[in-house]
Structures are given as C-alpha cells and as structure tokens.
C-alpha cells in the first residue's frame, strides 16, 4: 500500500528542510563569513560560488525547488495549527509556536533577499561586497537582515530537532532533551557566524 | 459560634444544543466536605437554580466510573482539561470555572462528542484480532520487562485531554491525535498483536495520521495518566519510517 499524501508531503517537508536547505544555509553563511577577512576575500568566495559548473542545475534542484515546496507546504502547516502557548506555556510548545512564526518571517526575508540579490544579478547587477555595503548602509535594512538571519538560523536549528523526532532518531525523552541542547548550541554558533558576517559590511 | 453557611460558586459555560450559542451561568451551592466537581454538578441537578435565584435547566455532563479510569467526565476546569471526578473542590480556586473541551463538538453544556477519537482507533486498528474458525491455542509469551512499559500505555482511557492540549488537533485538521498513536505502539508491542503490526502502521501513515504531529509535546505534559505519549509518537515515527523503506524497497519480514 502506498503511503498517503499527508505522510509523504510531511516527511518530504521535514527532509528538505535539512537536506538540502539546512546544508545550503550553512554553506551560504560560511561564504558570507569571508567578509570578515575583507572585501577581496568575500568577492573571491562569492565569485567561486558563481562560477561553479552547472550552476543553474544546482540552483534549481538544491535551492529553488526544495525552497518552494518547503515554504508553500510550511505555510499550509503553520496556518493549520491552533496555537495555545497562553494556556500551555511549556518550552516545546513555545518552540512549536516560534518555529511557525520564524517560518513566516524567513519566507518574507528570503523572498526579499532573493529579489534584492539573485534576481538583481539576473538583471545584470554584480553581487559583491559593495552591493551588500550599499544595502546594509540603510539602518532599517540592517535591522531587517539581522531579524532575517536570526530567524533563519533559529528555524533551521529548531527544525533539526523536529527532524530527529519526526524520522524516529530521538525516541527517548533523554535523547530529545540532549538534542534540544545540541540544536540550541547550533543556533547560537550559526548566529555568531551570521552576525559577524553582517557587521563586516558596515 | 456558628458562622454563615459555606458555599461554593461555579461559573459554567453552557450551550443548549450542538448548534446553539454558548452562555455563562453562575451557580452558588452549599459546601460539603470532600466535594468533587461531579458532586457539585449533582447538587445543581438536584436543585437547578442559578445564583440569581432563577430556576434553570440542570447542567448536562457525562460520567462513568467516578475513579478516573473511564475518561468520560473530562472538561475544562479553571482553564485546565481534566477529569471532573478527581477534581476536588478543596483544591480549586473559586469561582470554579467549568467549560466543555474545545476540540470536540459540544452535545450540550459540558458533554462533548469524542467520536473523532473512536474513529481514530478504528482507523489504526487498535485491537488484536484473535477470532478464527478453530481454537488457535495460547499466543506467544510476553517478556516481563516489555509488559511493564506496555502496561503504562494501556492506561489510556480515551479521555480527550491530549487532543484538547494539541495545537494540531482542531477543526482545520484531520489529525488523529496522540492517543491513537500510542495505542498502535501498545498493540504492536503485544506478541500476538505484533502479527498485524503493518496494518496498524499503514493506518498511522494514512491521511490525518502520525505525520501531522508538530512536536509541541503538550500531550505528554497534560495526560492525566502520565502516559509517555511523545515517546510513543517518536517510536511510531521510527516504525513508520522503517515501514516506508520496507514498502518501497521490499521486505519479506
């Protein structure tokens, strides 16, 4: 018997969030981090990514298609839930709620970010250190990017926790608790990476 | 010196029928020692007069065992879903607020229709088929250590508190809820039940099944029986993940 659409969609949604999207987020943040070594290092790293072979295939299958599915199905999931943190203020219920809020925040941020960088590049602009300096010289944009990056990193780290439960890796309460610590350390570590890169442009 | 008679005030969310609007009615009843919410409701039934002294209809609720094993008398008491039989008035802040659980359709007043839970049990085949045309003899034995944790799962009384606490069980979703998921783990752990474990896992993998869980883990915090529901959910996540591979790639066992 074939698994239901619910089951396949949910599992696919969980998987895509980690592979490839989570890995892509880490890779993206790592390239950004070159900015801490100065404009030249960043431009070289960005140029290396740009000049990868079969770049469009990578972009479509590693980034855009998984992102579209994860985002659209994620919004459907988020608006299906009836949040109740005011009555059930437990940590995991808060994380459940924040996962849905951050998901929507990330969707808005990523849409804008893709428009501002990748689509501008498609229309002839050059994505480089100077482009980010220009964008982030606007304080409102800087705040928007800080919220966006922190939201993304949280959504990934906490989503990783859910991934481990949803696929049946962490079954015991103890292993789930340990994963809470591990994923929150990942959240803090990636936040440092993201923030240091952002502030390297100002 | 005799002080004035002690009373108890209850604010009850009422509803005359499945489609009528809800309203609140206050009752003040004489206090007796060791009262629980059910005995308070019985007092109202005996003398259905509200706090304004007006005659009203008796408040409807459901009950069965009166010892927190049947699950019928669940309601929201002072904001918390629980069984009214074990809710002792001495331990509750007054006025005591009673409301029907919100996840289920209201039949009348505090009585709700928990059909979606029983439908869920049917969906996942939460039983052990042993009927046949001849005596099959005794089944395989169950190891004692397994029996001990399985016993904890068997305490589920389909009371609905975990579904009430779950943000993913609502009118917008078909999610079967934590209780039925844990029952699959119970029956799949049973040596005879394990003979049909794939059928139950297929039920969990159906629409509205296990994958709809969002891991808010409110269920395990709310279960009046302390059933490790989130452990059951994760264990069934593992079982259905493996079952998916077996189904797709093929397996003889």
* Beta strand ranges found along A132-181 (DSSP E): none
Instruction: Please indicate whether, in this complex, the C-beta atoms of A171 and B239 are within 8 angstroms of each other.
Output: no
User: Does residue B70 fall inside a structural domain?
Assistant: yes
Question: Is B187 in contact with B199 (CB distance < 8 Å)?
Answer: no
DSSP string, A98-135: HHHHHHHHHHHHHHHHIIIIIIHHHTT---SHHHHHHH
Q: Are residues B122 and B243 in the same domain?
A: yes
CATH code for position B120: 1.10.1060.10
Position B195 in a domain = yes
State mean pLDDT over A138-143.
97
Tell whether B124 is within 8 A of chain A (Cβ).
Answer: no
- pLDDT for B20-36, tens place per residue? 999 999 999 999 999 99
Residue B1 predicted with pLDDT over 60:
no
Q: Least CA distance to A89: which residue of chain B?
A: B218
Domains held by chain B: number: 2
Query: Are B138 and B241 members of one domain?
Result: yes
Query: What are the distances in angstroms from CA A171 to CA A19, A128, A176, B226?
Result: 21, 45, 7, 17
The residue out of B77, B112, B147 marking a domain boundary is B112
Mean pLDDT throughout B219-236? 98
pLDDT of residue B3 exceeding 80, the answer is no
- Is the pLDDT at B228 greater than 80, yes or no? yes
* Locus of tokens 């046949």: B132
Q: Which CATH fold would you assign to the domain A5-199?
A: 3 helical TM bundles of succinate and fumarate reductases (1.20.1300)
Flag whether B200 is in a domain: yes
C-beta atoms of B222 and A162 within 8 A: no
For residue B141, the distance in angstroms to the closest alpha carbon of chain A comes to 25
Same domain, B143 and B244: yes
Give tens-digit pLDDT for A62-113: 999 999 999 999 999 999 999 999 999 999 999 999 999 999 999 999 999 9
Q: Is residue B184 part of a domain?
A: yes
For the stretch A162-177, pLDDT in tens is 999 999 999 999 999 9
Residues B96 and B46 in one domain: yes
CATH number of the domain that residue B74 is part of: 3.10.20.30
Residue B199, domain member (yes or no)? yes
Q: Which residues pair with B22 in a beta bridge?
A: B15
Q: Are residues B164 and B47 in the same domain?
A: no
pLDDT per residue as tens digits for the range B112-156: 999 999 999 999 999 999 888 998 888 899 999 999 999 999 999
Distance between alpha carbon B27 and the CA centroid of its chain, in Å? 27
CA–CA min distance B232, chain A (Å): 8
Mean pLDDT of the B218-225 span = 97
Q: What is the mean pLDDT of residues A9-19?
A: 96
On the question of pLDDT at B214 being above 90, the answer is: yes
Query: Given CB atoms, is B221 within the 8 Å cutoff of chain A?
Result: yes
- Cα distance between residue B147 and residue B124, in whole Å: 21
Share of chain B above pLDDT 90, in %: 93
- Which candidate from B202, B212, B222 shows the least CB-CB separation from A10? B212
**Same domain? B176 vs B241:** yes
Contact A152, A110 (CB under 8 A): yes
In a domain, B2, yes or no: no
**Domain C-terminal end among B112, B132, B159:** B112
Q: What is the spatial distance between Cα B164 and Cα B159, in angstroms, rounded to a whole number?
A: 10
Query: Residue ranges per domain, chain A?
Result: 5-199
- B108 and B136 fall within a common domain: no
**B-interface mutation test, from A3, A103, A164, most B Cβ less than 10 A away:** A3
Q: Looking at the structure, do residues B242 and B123 belong to the same domain, yes or no?
A: yes
Contact B122, B181 (CB under 8 A): no
Instruction: Give the residue-averaged pLDDT of B242-252.
Output: 92
Mutate which: A171, A175, A176, vs B, most B CBs within 10 A: A171
Which of B102, B174, B205, B228 is the best mutation test for A, with the most CBs of A within 10 A? B205
Round to whole Å and give the CA distance between A49 and A150.
23
The reply to whether A13 sits in an annotated binding site is: no
B211 and B120 in a common domain: yes
Q: How much is the pLDDT for B17?
A: 96
Chain-chain contact of A77 with B231 (C-beta, under 8 angstroms): no
Q: Among B112, B145, B180, give the residue marking a domain's end.
A: B112
Percent of chain B with pLDDT over 70: 98
Question: In degrees rounded to 5, what are phi and psi of residue B75?
Answer: -160, 170
pLDDT single digits (tens) B41-90? 999 999 999 999 999 999 999 999 999 999 999 999 999 999 999 999 99
Whole-number Å distance between alpha carbons of B25 and B13: 7
Across the interface, whether the CB atoms of B167 and A169 are under 8 A apart is answered: no
Same domain (yes/no): B130, B85: no
Tens of pLDDT, residue by residue over B174-198, are: 999 999 999 999 999 999 999 999 9
Q: The domain containing residue B208 runs over which residues?
A: 115-249
CB contact under 8 A, B230 and A176: yes
Q: Taking CB atoms and an 8 Å cutoff, what residues of chain B touch A80?
A: 168, 170, 172-173
What does the pLDDT read at residue B98?
98
pLDDT of residue B187: 98
Confirm whether residue A155 is marked as ligand binding.
Answer: yes
Residue of chain B minimizing CA distance to A158: B215
Contact B168, B175 (CB under 8 A): yes
Is residue B1 situated within a structural domain?
Answer: no
What pLDDT score was predicted for residue A2? 58
Question: Residue B12 falls within a domain, yes or no?
Answer: yes
In A, minimum Cα distance to B172 occurs at A80
């Amino acid at each position: 018997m074939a698994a239901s659409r619910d089951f396949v969609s949910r599992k696919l949604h969980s998987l895509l969030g980690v592979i490839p999207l989570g890995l892509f987020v880490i890779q993206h943040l790592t390239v950004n981090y070159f900015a801490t070594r100065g404009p030249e290092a960043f431009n070289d790293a960005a140029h290396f990514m740009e000049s990868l072979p079969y770049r469009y295939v990578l972009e479509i299958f590693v980034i855009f298609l998984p992102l579209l599915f994860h985002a659209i199905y994620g919004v459907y999931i988020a608006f299906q839930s009836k949040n109740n943190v005011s009555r059930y203020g437990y940590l995991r219920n808060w994380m459940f709620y924040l996962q849905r809020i951050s998901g929507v925040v990330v969707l808005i941020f990523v849409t804008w970010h893709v428009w501002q960088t990748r689509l501008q590049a498609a229309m002839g602009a050059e994505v480089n250190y100077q482009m980010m300096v220009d964008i982030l010289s606007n304080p409102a944009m800087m705040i928007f990017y800080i919220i966006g990056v922190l939201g993304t990193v949280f959504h990934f780290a906490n989503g990783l926790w859910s991934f481990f439960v949803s696929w049946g890796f962490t079954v015991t309460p103890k292993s789930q608790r340990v994963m809470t610590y591990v994923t929150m350390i990942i959240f803090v570590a990636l936040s440092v990476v993201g923030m240091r890169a952002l502030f390297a442009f100002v | 010196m005799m002080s004035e008679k002690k009373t108890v005030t209850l604010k009850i969310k009422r509803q005359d029928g499945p489609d009528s609007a809800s309203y609140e009615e206050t009752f003040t009843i004489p206090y007796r020692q060791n009262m629980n919410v059910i005995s308070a409701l019985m007092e109202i039934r005996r003398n259905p007069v509200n706090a304004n002294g007006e005659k009203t209809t008796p408040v409807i609720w459901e009950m069965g065992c009166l010892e927190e094993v049947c699950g019928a008398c669940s309601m929201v008491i002072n904001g918390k879903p629980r069984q009214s039989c074990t809710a002792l008035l001495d331990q509750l802040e007054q006025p005591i607020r009673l409301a029907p659980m919100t996840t289920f359709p209201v039949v009348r007043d505090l009585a709700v229709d928990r059909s979606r839970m029983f439908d869920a049990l049917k969906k996942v085949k939460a039983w052990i088929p042993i009927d046949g045309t001849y005596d099959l003899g005794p089944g395989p034995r169950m190891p004692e250590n397994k029996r001990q944790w399985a016993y904890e799962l068997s305490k589920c009384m389909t009371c609905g508190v975990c579904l009430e606490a779950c943000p993913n069980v609502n009118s917008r979703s078909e999610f079967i809820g934590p209780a039925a998921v844990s029952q699959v783990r119970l029956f799949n752990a049973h040596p005879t039940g394990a003979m049909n474990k794939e059928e139950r896992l297929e039920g969990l993998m159906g629409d509205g099944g296990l994958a709809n869980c969002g891991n808010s883990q409110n269920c395990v915090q709310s279960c009046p029986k302390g059933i490790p529901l989130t452990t059951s959910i994760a264990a069934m996540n593992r079982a259905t993940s493996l079952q998916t591979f077996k189904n797709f790639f093929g397996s003889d066992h």
